[in-house]
Structure 1
Amino acid sequence: MAPAVTMADVLSCPCPVLPDVTATAIDSDAAARNFKAPDSILIIGAGVFGLSTAFALTKRPEFASTSITVLDRSPETGVFPARDASSVDSSRIIRPDYADPAYAGLAAKAQAHWRQTSGPDALGGEGRYTESGFVLAANDGPMARPDGTLTALAYVKTSWVNALALAQREGRPLNSVRMMHSAWSVAKVTGAGEFADWGYLNEASGWADAEASMDWYYKRVVATGRVKFFNGTAESLETDDATRRVTGARLKDGTTLSADLAIAAAGAWTPTLVDLSSQAVATGQVLGYMDITEEEQKKLEKIPVMLNLSTGFFVIPPRNRVLKVARHAYGYINPKPLSKSPLGVPGSAKGQPKLVSQPYTHLDDANLSIPPESEKELLEGLRKIIPLPELKDRSFSRTRLCWYTDTPTGDWIVDYHPYWQGLFVATGGSGHAFKFLPVIGDSVVDCIMGKCPEQFQNKWKWKTVDNIEKAIVTEDGSRAGQQGLILEDELKKHAN
């Protein structure tokens, strides 16, 4: 087992633990200096990546003459994004608590926006952001797996170091990041159950009303008067094979939208348009919502967000008498054939993927519930974290599948396609992109202009993986549960 990290290790570190992400979009090559904005841009997807990118484009003088269109698969006119998008939900965790210092630094930059609660730019106002505190915890065990990847405990301890460094940099007292070294201390600090063996409470983290935040952001984009929104489902990307250029998108109704630059930012639907079979896969994650009484609301509304990375279960403080529990896990895959193959490289030795994992949501089936085994596990996870007797035998009022776009490392894909000109990909959120809503678009636009932040250049670049026979599984230490579960098979087990 690796040696434990101590406070002394943090305070004696001669160099900054976290990078300053505010400074450094650097010119990666001559392309950045010679960048010329396209006359038209089509953004496919109005989720976190797409909406934030659209807004960032409107603020850049280089794109002042560029027409910007956002296409989203939402079936409801004027509703963006679609109601089954992963970003449309009652709550999402907002935290800079990362084992990776680059993401910790970028999340801290985003959190400065979430903390704005008054004025016209107040993303966190009107209850959209609540700084409840956040407990990140894990069970005892080794710090590394046999293959060298981080375990949950290693992730939590490394994140603790970064959280302390960030508190010091922001001038907050170090005791605002409080270590919990046993299950007993976890329960004592949180006022909840003994649901983990080691962890810490970061008082400067919290949660956001995701649906309300997306709506607020959408209205800001509309108010610029620069962005046209279009309802429709992209079935494929249009190409000019002679020039190896993407020219736009063809919709399922036969409509074609043309643009000089297409940005594929469709979240878990992106692999249906672009061949990402060696880099990303759509996984369905389970969420449960439990109705509670007004008295129970008062008991629980002041609890922190609590997440055990070893089990993946997390609970967010209730609002409007609804308590949410979810699991950050390996999730379910849903491999299905497509009517149109995703855009790949012609003549590629690996060929086109015959099956692509695709989201299956309540818009596809209004009666869709999560597999019963997962519902049972969610209830057990909730009772472990919040052992209130009155909740012991209560079931969920509803459940939901939330679709991630997972990459092997949890890093995003923010890069030009290596073969097709006029195609930029912004996806791979891996279940942790929402908190970056106010800043992710600026990062995407920096990359479009050839100025990817230095600390993300290797993380976000297009990756070619030789051994594609190995299933894509996010192994950054933040996942739990069983790998390789197929949604259709798990639903069929209990169909009768």
Structure 2
Amino acid sequence: MKDSTQGTSPGPGTPLPDSILIVGGGVFGLSTALALAARHSGKITLVESSPTIPNPHGSSIDTSRIVRADYAKAAYATLAESALEKWRNTDWGREGRYTQSGLVLVSSGDQFGKDYVRESYENVKAINPDAVEALPTRRDVERAAPGYGSGLHVSGGYVNWGSGWADAEASVAFARKKVEETGRVNFRTGDVKRVISEDTGSAAAAARRKVTGVELADNTIITADLVILATGAWTGRLVDLRGRAEATGQALAYIRISDEEQAKLANMPTVLNLSTGMFIIPPRNNLLKIARHAYGYRNPQRVPSPADSGSNPTQTRETTIEVSLPEKDVPIPQEGEDACRVALKEMLPAFADRPFVKTRVCWYTDTPKGDFIITHHPQYNGLFLATGGSGHGFKFLPVLGDKVVDAIQGRLVPELQKLWAWPESPPAAAPPPPSSSSPDTVVWTEDGSRSGPKGMILMDELAKGGWKRSSSKL
């Protein structure tokens, strides 16, 4: 396979401005800060809403994330393989942060997900043929993942022994440590309330403004020549991303297992069924995680329109818009618990009735095709977005920041530049189901890896179990 995502375009690119502000201390923000610290001599500031990094409400504050090169899109497969080299062979993966136990990617019959599995197999087979083995029947799948028993309702797939999983929380903490050790980045704590922009004074001012910084919730102003929004699922509060990206909640649950069970399952491969979206990652510290990668739950809220800060320069009156945003400290709905139970019965039936000791809603920043948004805002000078992880950004932590800085300087290779570009206009959305109250601009990620019901509203699903929003710790 031709590796067209590595390296940079010829030439030095656009010089970096004197002062750069990164908003967000997650995977996108820390990776960008690390790359800037190595390539930029100016002032770099990173502001994070949480006094601690990792942010306890962030997406990558968890025991485990799948680290795979297994993609139906070749560009992501090759870029992920370059990240895997870092996970395997450098300090990124040491001290238990990365475990290479393999990934079994399967589908069920002729259901959704079969094409993604086939295309992904072709891509990773071309990259690492010795590590990839076709599993054409259910019996083959059971042979590759014997610890999961004979309850797998699958028709086949493949195993990639070159993939694995990483301790997400430990890896983000390690990334912060690496950034701190550079001595080049000033960390600030604060909740960004809005992006500040001003009239450029030119004839084109009505169509284009200049971003000068951000205002925090305590009214503190932080100025910079370039503002990078690496704000993940919260980005919709700061710029209008309707139809381009929005937050969706994904269900995950944990069960407690014994030392003997931990030892038995510790080296098993991860199994991901793309027809159901359900997956189980090998346990760590006697906790077994069951999760779902699907269309997810929306959480629509009314927020002040960011008309003056990055979406619509011609809008002048104060209005509100509806966006889906994360809800902190909520359990998963009963619907999600039921899905996890079914997955346990199929994959690990011995644990099917074990109580959940913890559940969590993990927030994705979904885009229509699952592609990141890593680009300059087309309407605002000095505003750059690094977001849209769509549930698969974590694995790129060791290499993503260099690509972000390449994009800032106009040096990103054309293939990734095209994938991560700002959409010229929101794509036409498919009609929502009859029972859904979703607006026309709802984002459903259609990259071939999602399944399950569309249009579920988190609060509606939680209300079915008696949970009320007043219990939330927003």
TM over 0.5: yes
Output aligned runs, 1:399-414, within 5 Å: 399-414=359-374
Paired with 2:320 and 2:402, the residues of 1 have a C-alpha distance of 32
Structure 1 residue 184: deviation in Å?
2.4
What's the secondary structure of 1:123's corresponding residue? helix
Paired with 1:53 and 1:454, the residues of 2 have a C-alpha distance of 20
Letter in 2 for 1:196: V
- The answer to whether the Cα contact below 8 Å between 1:410 and 1:474 also exists between their aligned partners in 2 is yes
Q: Which residue of 2 aligns with 1:376?
A: 338
Q: Given the two structures, how large is their TM-score scaled by the length of structure 1?
A: 0.86
Q: Which residue of 2 aligns with 1:488?
A: 459
Structure 1 residue 19: deviation in Å?
2.3
Letter in 2 for 1:344: S
- The answer to whether the Cα contact below 8 Å between 1:316 and 1:323 also exists between their aligned partners in 2 is yes
Paired with 2:344 and 2:405, the residues of 1 have a C-alpha distance of 40
Output aligned runs, 1:318-357, within 5 Å: 318-339=283-304, 341=306, 343-347=310-314, 354-357=321-324
Q: Which residue of 2 aligns with 1:101?
A: 74
1:434 aligns with 2:394: yes
Paired with 1:46 and 1:376, the residues of 2 have a C-alpha distance of 33
- The answer to whether the Cα contact below 8 Å between 2:98 and 2:167 also exists between their aligned partners in 1 is yes
Letter in 2 for 1:133: G
Letter in 2 for 1:279: R
When structure 1 is superposed on structure 2, of 192-201 and 392-401 the one drifting more is 192-201
In the alignment, which of 86, 109, 114 is matched to residue 140 of structure 1? 109
Matched pairs, number? 443
Q: Which residue of 1 aligns with 2:379?
A: 419
Q: Which residue of 1 aligns with 2:159?
A: 201
Q: Which residue of 2 aligns with 1:122?
A: 91
Q: Which residue of 2 aligns with 1:360?
A: 327
Paired with 2:4 and 2:16, the residues of 1 have a C-alpha distance of 27
In the alignment, which of 19, 23, 33 is matched to residue 3 of structure 2? 19
- The answer to whether the Cα contact below 8 Å between 2:255 and 2:357 also exists between their aligned partners in 1 is yes
Output aligned runs, 1:184-263, within 5 Å: 184-191=139-146, 192=148, 193-243=151-201, 244-263=209-228
Paired with 1:245 and 1:164, the residues of 2 have a C-alpha distance of 47
Q: Which residue of 2 aligns with 1:157?
A: 118
What do you get for the CA RMSD once the two structures are aligned?
1.8
Between the two proteins, what is the percent identity of the paired residues?
46
Q: Which residue of 1 aligns with 2:134?
A: 179
Paired with 1:358 and 1:34, the residues of 2 have a C-alpha distance of 35
1:312 aligns with 2:277: yes
Paired with 2:173 and 2:313, the residues of 1 have a C-alpha distance of 40
Structure 1 residue 392: deviation in Å?
2.6
When structure 1 is superposed on structure 2, of 239-248 and 266-275 the one drifting more is 239-248
- The answer to whether the Cα contact below 8 Å between 1:313 and 1:382 also exists between their aligned partners in 2 is no
Letter in 1 for 2:47: L
After superposition, the Cα gap between the structure-2 partners of 1:353 and 1:199, relative to the gap in structure 1 and judged at 3 Å, is farther
- The answer to whether the Cα contact below 8 Å between 1:45 and 1:81 also exists between their aligned partners in 2 is no
- The answer to whether the Cα contact below 8 Å between 1:186 and 1:195 also exists between their aligned partners in 2 is no
The one-character-per-residue Cα deviations of 1:170-219 (angstroms, maximum 9, x if unpaired) are xxx2xx31111122221222112423212111111100011011111100
Q: Which residue of 1 aligns with 2:48?
A: 72
- The answer to whether the Cα contact below 8 Å between 2:13 and 2:410 also exists between their aligned partners in 1 is no
Q: Given the two structures, how large is their TM-score scaled by the length of structure 2?
A: 0.90
After superposition, the Cα gap between the structure-2 partners of 1:158 and 1:480, relative to the gap in structure 1 and judged at 3 Å, is same
In the alignment, which of 63, 80, 100 is matched to residue 131 of structure 1? 100
1:288 aligns with 2:253: yes
Paired with 2:278 and 2:357, the residues of 1 have a C-alpha distance of 18
Q: Which residue of 2 aligns with 1:8?
A: none
Paired with 1:206 and 1:259, the residues of 2 have a C-alpha distance of 39
Q: Which residue of 1 aligns with 2:448?
A: 477
What's the secondary structure of 2:84's corresponding residue? helix
- The answer to whether the Cα contact below 8 Å between 2:13 and 2:411 also exists between their aligned partners in 1 is no
Structure 1 residue 337: deviation in Å?
1.2
The one-character-per-residue Cα deviations of 1:334-359 (angstroms, maximum 9, x if unpaired) are 1111246363122369x976211110
Letter in 1 for 2:456: L
- The answer to whether the Cα contact below 8 Å between 2:215 and 2:221 also exists between their aligned partners in 1 is yes
1:271 aligns with 2:271: no
Letter in 1 for 2:395: K
After superposition, the Cα gap between the structure-2 partners of 1:410 and 1:353, relative to the gap in structure 1 and judged at 3 Å, is farther
Q: Which residue of 1 aligns with 2:416?
A: 456
What's the secondary structure of 2:253's corresponding residue? strand
Paired with 1:306 and 1:452, the residues of 2 have a C-alpha distance of 34
- The answer to whether the Cα contact below 8 Å between 1:379 and 1:395 also exists between their aligned partners in 2 is no
Paired with 2:441 and 2:405, the residues of 1 have a C-alpha distance of 32
Q: Which residue of 2 aligns with 1:87?
A: 60
Paired with 2:242 and 2:164, the residues of 1 have a C-alpha distance of 34
Paired with 2:182 and 2:267, the residues of 1 have a C-alpha distance of 37
1:55 aligns with 2:34: yes
Structure 1 residue 34: deviation in Å?
6.0
Letter in 2 for 1:355: E
Paired with 1:493 and 1:348, the residues of 2 have a C-alpha distance of 39
Q: Which residue of 1 aligns with 2:206?
A: none
Letter in 1 for 2:210: R
- The answer to whether the Cα contact below 8 Å between 1:195 and 1:308 also exists between their aligned partners in 2 is no
